[in-house]
Structure 1
């Protein structure tokens, strides 16, 4: 009689006990040593890194999580976990920026605006504040929150020092005037065209990510996922623009 000793795939311990069955009928185990769970003969990863990147890229082209499930056969929970893991590995947003030429004042001109969105229900506002470089067409900083001075201050502090000394164009929302130094700030109307680039970028965000469209069935259920999807898009958008500038 041959005895097969099972080992925990996580810590290698033999202290495994049966822990019910999976939906596909496979035996599940729990390790007394590390407390983690496993199952017999687990299915190998059917989504290699290249395939994951392809699916995540498709997600940023207006596809919803349910749409990805129908197109690629991958579950929504799986895509959500990929997004969170990907975002956790991202470097700071400032690392995606082109270094401005401080001798050229136009290289640090910023356009600032706030974009309405919501989480779970439309009563839960989640405003997206963006600082946009006019010359490079990159997002230099962002902040999520309400439409108060506190959130505007967080946006201002998130702007890298090299860009923070540039001139800023905004709309007439009073919080900008309360946060940005007067000599660096000009409030203008849309008809002037001074905030045309950031206004256009707002349309790009809504076009590329379904959860940020005003009238949509796709929406974020948590603040964590809301910011994760935004940050993943900002990194890809900035890096794509860096390639175009070279």
Structure 2
């Protein structure tokens, strides 16, 4: 199956942050920063969440499938599907070791700290994939400097690709991650917050305020996410993103 690239055009930028229009540039259907929905996530407008992702463990290594949620790929006449293999991901502490089994894909390419150091094929790709997936982002975020270095490497090597760092984003760090170069986010932390009975807001997780009938369900969680994405997009347009970080 032929994988077609997502249409993307930079509308505004500030440092490493980009505001992309997605789809036909004459009538874009979505934008980034935006969300990648999982199979059990609430339905959100395509303008906010342009992609959907599923992960299959039927084979080893696992397979990631990403589907644009509308006609976002040239020539914008049908929906598409991108399939990628995760590869064998070693912990960042084993950077000196070569796993020998790296992530692969056409329009969606998984990378890790290990593959950025050992996968020679990344240096000779003759195209820029639609999405680069930093699959060990949660581990890199726990080690000072590693996440920033990995994002800088990816942004430099694939300047027009959308970058997704799964599992680490939320309304409280949306602006910061965008400032560092991340374009796509997900609802993993929101699902975790909801399971713990707390609300993840732009100021971080907190208990709900019962006097105003606050809710910690996914609908309320998604409302805070959409607000954060709206604020981030507006700040990129106005050149004021640094004030949100």
TM-score class, shorter-chain normalisation, is: under 0.3
Bigger radius of gyration: 1
Answer 1 or 2: which has greater helix percent. Answer: 1
Answer 1 or 2: which has greater strand percent. Answer: 2
- With normalisation by structure 1, the TM-score equals 0.25
